[in-house]
Amino acid sequence: GDSVTQTEGQVTVSESKSLIINCTYSATSIAYPNLFWYVRYPGEGLQLLLKVITAGQKGSSRGFEATYNKETTSFHLQKASVQESDSAVYYCALSDRNAGAKLTFGGGTRLTVRP
Amino acid sequence: AQTIHQWPVAEIKAVGSPLSLGCTIKGKSSPNLYWYWQATGGTLQQLFYSITVGQVESVVQLNLSASRPKDDQFILSTEKLLLSHSGFYLCAFRDWESSYEQYFGPGTRLTVL
């Protein structure tokens, strides 16, 4: 089946430092998966951070960016300089393009930014 | 703008008791609707989806059922709760005009004792 792996369950970074959250995927049943990063800030609901639906393309939002790499089956999330307000749980996910559109999520990475 | 509302916000229920969780979408006609569940410390997984009124497809068997009685309403229920049903339940809809992403409601926290 399809799966998404986030290797780090928790990441702590100092403010203004760079960040990378790893995400790799396996899409055995989907020819052209869509890739997403969702984020849950403390006390808030799950919201879309960015999406990329074409291999080789990069998505960006709020200073975060991720590139859809079909060769390495990766979709790592990066930010050059994190802020304390970026502290949240980040989920990598993939879906197909059918009506069922099941989102398959990674286990999530809790980011803590130290002031 | 579309809004998604879930009720209740939280529930504490006894094992063996019935459950009904609701979800309403406003501002979007004929949305695709989804239920997701996350056990404490677990991964979000899709439970059900519906593309039209009266039609629901099951994705994961958890002794739960879902119904779509109206275009903008999605209900998750069971007649007998298990301890393993505890967790966080999220309703979502899909916006076909915006390239496949799903938008999530605030969720319901369920604790089964």
φ, ψ at B98 (rounded to 5°): -125, 40
B105 neighbourhood in chain A, CB within 8 Å = 45
Nearest to A30 by CA among A102, A106, A105: A102
Q: Among B43, B90, B100, whose Cβ lies nearest the Cβ of A101?
A: B100
Across the range B74-86, mean pLDDT stands at: 97
Between the CA of residue B24 and those of A2, A62, B92, what are the distances in Å?
29, 29, 10
Question: Tens digits of per-residue pLDDT, A15-74?
Answer: 999 999 999 999 888 878 999 999 999 988 899 999 999 999 999 999 999 999 999 999
Quickly state the pLDDT bin for B99 (edges 50, 70, 90).
low
Sign, CA torsion B71/B72/B78/B83: positive
What's the number of CA atoms in the CB half-sphere (13 Å) around residue A45?
Answer: 18
Average pLDDT, chain A: 93
Give the residue on B whose Cα is nearest the Cα of A98: B100
Judging contacts by C-beta atoms under 8 Å, the chain A residues touching residue B59 are 100, 102
Q: Could you tell me if B58 lies within 8 Å of chain A, comparing CB atoms?
A: no
The whole-number pLDDT of residue B40 equals 87
The residue to which tokens 């009124």 are assigned: B53
| Beta carbons within 8 Å of A44's beta carbon, 6+ residues apart | none
| Interface with chain A: mutation pick from B5, B44, B57, highest number of A CBs within 10 Å | B44
Residues of A in contact with B45 (CB under 8 A): 105
